[in-house]
Amino acid sequence: MKVVLDTNILISALIKAGKPRELLLKIVEERVQVVLSRGILEEFIEVVEDPRIRRYVGDDDVIAFLRVIGSVAKIVGVKSKFKVIEEDPNDDIILRTAHDGKADCLVSGDKHLLSLGEFRGMEIVTADEMLKMLVRKG
């Protein structure tokens, strides 16, 4: 199974306990492949540098987190140029990564993406829904 984790899921997993972190731990445990792109990583680094996020994590936390992600991640090149999310065009990089990386699922907390439900045969689910899918599968 290949899964794209939206930046909001990655940030949530980094800064606090909850479903996103639980999901990430389950993904690592089950060796589920996470599909990422340069665009997602750039957005992650940009958000992590925000002082509101830095209140919760230091450099060591971010490095350790990226090592964990790196243990299960594949970085894909994004060639798609489609535009789907008019309300927030930045969300399109998440869809493009999922599409070009041939992901089975996209996990997000973003209402624009979740409202799609699926995209070109790929499910778009919450962290809680993905966690339940992995528990059923395991």
What class, spelled out in words, does domain 2-137 have in CATH? alpha beta
pLDDT of 88 reads 79
Q: In degrees rounded to 5, what are phi and psi of residue 73?
A: -100, 150
Torsion of CA 71, 10, 103, 88, to 10 degrees: -150
The Cα 60–Cα 22 span in angstroms is 20
pTM (whole model) above 0.85: yes
Q: What is the rounded radius of gyration, in angstroms, for the C-alpha atoms of the chain?
A: 14
* pLDDT string in tens for the chain (138-residue length): 999 999 999 999 999 999 999 999 999 999 999 999 999 999 999 999 999 999 999 999 999 999 999 999 999 999 999 998 878 778 899 999 999 999 999 999 999 999 999 999 999 999 999 999 998 876
3-class SS of residue 138: coil
Per-residue DSSP letter, 62: H
pLDDT of 138 reads 63
Structure tokens at 19: 């479903």
